[in-house]
């Protein structure tokens, strides 16, 4: 029997289609693993930065506490029960009573009811003695005080050496205060004042700048004294 000229090819097995469900599941699992890995790395870095920040904060607190202890160990306390305030000053400084502000008229000076200064005795023989002055005035408010201050530092030509009160935040004894800068000669006078129990309390000091060979150290001492000032009532 003769074979047919055209033969039918044998049937091929049907191609197996990939299971799309498993493919999608694999992709989702891979994405989930990447997300988990990302969160792990982020959390690890976050913990590291947090620990570093905490450590930095602890070191800063320790340094601040050490500095306070050093300042306290080298300081002497002054307390005035009559006017209810106290402060600390360097042990090698001296307490001195002060006279009424030079240049003020008698009527203006009568408003000063108390004054005391702390002085660095090593600078008394120099042309720029270093001191911080504490004064109490019988003024009802800071506006009256500043009027007096301008009068005390007004020259014969009517020119005042008192600059406008500083708008920067100032505090004295934990209370809002005003700062007035007085420019005279080659020194800057700083006057910080606040009202407590119906009286004006003023802390003042001079900054001779480069004329003071230990200006940096004295500025730090000024800051420490100012920071230690507080009211008892």
DSSP states of 91-103: TTSEEEE-PPPTT
Number of H helices, E strands in the chain: 4, 10
CB-CB contact of 208 with 186 (8 Å): yes
Q: How many CB atoms lie within 10 A of CB 101?
A: 19
Given a cut of 80, whether residue 102 has pLDDT beyond it is no
The predicted pLDDT at position 23 comes to 80
User: Where is pLDDT greater, at 11 or 175?
Assistant: 175
pLDDT tens-digit series, residues 30-83: 888 889 888 888 888 888 888 888 877 777 777 767 766 776 788 999 999 999
The predicted pLDDT at position 106 comes to 36
pLDDT tens-digit series, residues 162-214: 887 776 778 999 999 999 988 876 678 899 999 999 999 999 988 777 778 88
Q: Mean of the pLDDT values across residues 71-98?
A: 89
User: Where is pLDDT greater, at 109 or 189?
Assistant: 189
Q: 8 φ, ψ to 5°?
A: -80, 125
Secondary structure class of 80 (helix, strand, coil): strand
C-alpha separations of 197 from 71, 135, 136, 137 in Å: 30, 14, 11, 11
The predicted pLDDT at position 153 comes to 83
The model's pTM: 0.68
CB-CB contact of 223 with 87 (8 Å): no
The predicted pLDDT at position 203 comes to 93
User: Where is pLDDT greater, at 141 or 3?
Assistant: 141
The predicted pLDDT at position 198 comes to 92
Q: How many CA atoms lie within 13 A of 117 on its CB side?
A: 18
Q: Supply 112's token pair.
A: 């000063």
pLDDT tens-digit series, residues 123-146: 888 778 888 999 999 998 998 998
User: Where is pLDDT greater, at 220 or 59?
Assistant: 220
């Amino acid at each position: 029997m003769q074979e047919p000229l055209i033969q039918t090819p044998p049937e091929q097995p049907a191609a197996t289609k990939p299971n799309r469900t498993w493919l999608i599941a694999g992709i989702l699992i891979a994405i989930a693993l990447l997300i988990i890995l990302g969160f792990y790395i982020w959390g690890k870095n976050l913990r590291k930065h947090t620990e570093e920040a905490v450590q930095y904060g602890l070191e800063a607190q320790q340094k601040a506490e050490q500095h306070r202890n050093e300042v306290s160990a080298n300081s002497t306390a002054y307390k005035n029960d009559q006017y209810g305030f106290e402060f600390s000053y360097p042990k090698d400084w001296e307490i001195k009573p002060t006279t009424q502000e030079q240049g003020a008229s008698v009527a203006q000076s009568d408003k000063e009811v108390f004054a005391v200064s702390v002085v660095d005795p090593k600078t008394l023989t120099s042309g720029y003695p270093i001191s911080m002055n504490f004064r109490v005035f019988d003024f009802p408010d800071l506006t009256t005080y500043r009027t007096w201050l301008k009068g005390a530092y007004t020259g014969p030509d009517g020119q005042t050496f008192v600059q406008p009160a500083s708008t920067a935040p100032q505090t004295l004894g934990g209370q809002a205060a005003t700062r007035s800068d007085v420019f005279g000669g080659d020194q800057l006078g700083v006057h910080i004042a606040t009202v407590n129990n119906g009286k004006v309390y003023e802390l003042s000091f001079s900054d001779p700048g480069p004329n003071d060979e230990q200006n940096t150290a004295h500025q730090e001492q000024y800051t420490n004294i100012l920071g230690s000032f507080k009211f008892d009532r």
